Amino acid sequence: MNSVRKTNRILGRNRKILVELKSEGIQRVHRKVLQALGFSFKHFTAYEEFANYGLCPVIYDEVYHVQDGGMVLFFNAAESFKQSA
């Protein structure tokens, strides 16, 4: 498998993990939980600046922020812009 396909597959899996957790009402977990689910912190599509969190990695439309102590907060980028407006 070429590297572009592999990266796209990892990004898709990462986004799916975040979306599934959010659908269960979970918006914050420890980074080790995400890693156990197969999440890779090395892959993201961009960085975006958010007023409350600073510079955060983005996976397509999902954003995550690693807090002190290893907790990871995740949210949808569009929802964050609605709240800040």
Query: What per-residue confidence (pLDDT) applies to 35?
Result: 97
Query: What per-residue confidence (pLDDT) applies to 23?
Result: 95
What pTM, to 2 d.p., does this model score?
Answer: 0.84
- pLDDT tops 70 at residue 1: no
Spatial separation of the C-alpha atoms in residues 8 and 3, rounded to whole Å: 9
**Domain residue limits, the chain:** 3-84
Residue with tokens 């955060």: 56
pLDDT in tens, 22-67: 999 999 999 999 999 999 999 999 999 988 889 999 999 999 999 9
81-84 — which CB contacts under 8 Å span 24+ positions?
A: 84/50, 84/51, 84/52
Q: Closest Cα to residue 64, out of 74, 78, 55?
A: 74
**Cα 75 to the chain's mean position, in Å?**
7
Which helix (H) or strand (E) covers residue 82, if one does?
Answer: helix 77-84
Q: With bands split at pLDDT 50, 70 and 90, how would you rate the model's confidence at 85?
A: very low
